Homo-oligomer: A and B are copies of this chain.
């Protein structure tokens, strides 16, 4: 995962996918087109911005390269125009969210390793990049973020980020291992929803 070009494309696709999730939430909350744009940009860019700040890579890629903003705004427009179509496809939306989670987990951990971080912080940063955009999106509309409400959400990101680190340590091909890691996140996340996996609650809690 030393190939920065791979990180860029994973990042850009993740931005688009999460920005659509932001637009859909904004439409559901009855926000106007500016609110839709704000929530799309926040959901799409926040995770990567936080990652870049924590890496000391200022200004963040989301500001240095206008393609990120363009991706988020295109997603906002797509959500504005086609929300009814997207809404009817509830399975695809969950898939998109899982895909975004995988893309950002892999891009986040990969970029952290490229910046010379150790394994544990790099994996943590991958998870943070993956869940960050969704956290900001949900907090902006005063909802408890999905990462706290859903079973096996941060865990799926953790699996992918750990695979990125292992693949790098084993000197696997970056493109192949990135693809496999994204697929693993999507698989874990989708299986957990479809099969209704439940994580343990604290013994004796409500």
Which A residues form the contact surface with B (CB < 8 A)? 26-39, 41, 49, 53-56, 58-60, 63-64, 66, 69, 79-81, 83-84, 115, 117-118, 120-121, 124-125, 131, 135, 139-145, 147-149, 151-155, 198-206
Contact = CB atoms under 8 A, between A and B. Distances in A.
A36 B152 contact: no
Contacts of A135: 140
A126 to B, nearest CB: 12
Taken together, the copies of this chain in the complex come to 3
A131 B80 CA distance: 22
A156 B188 CA distance: 43
A78 to B, nearest CB: 11
A124 to B, nearest CB: 6
B54 A49 contact: yes
B39 A148 contact: yes
Contact of A80 (B49, B80, B147, B202): B202
Given A58-B54, A83-B202, A202-B83, A148 B63 contact: no
Nearest to A58: B56
Q: Which 5 pairs across A and B sit closest by C-beta, in order of nearness?
A: A56-B58, A32-B199, A63-B121, A66-B120, A27-B202
B142 A142 contact: yes
A193 B15 CA distance: 33
B140 A148 contact: yes
A40 to B, nearest CB: 12
28 contacts: A27-B205, A28-B205, A29-B148, A31-B149, A34-B147, A34-B153, A34-B199, A35-B147, A35-B149, A38-B148, A49-B54, A53-B54, A53-B58, A54-B59, A54-B60, A55-B59, A58-B58, A59-B117, A63-B121, A63-B124, A64-B117, A64-B121, A81-B203, A84-B204, A139-B140, A140-B144, A140-B145, A140-B148
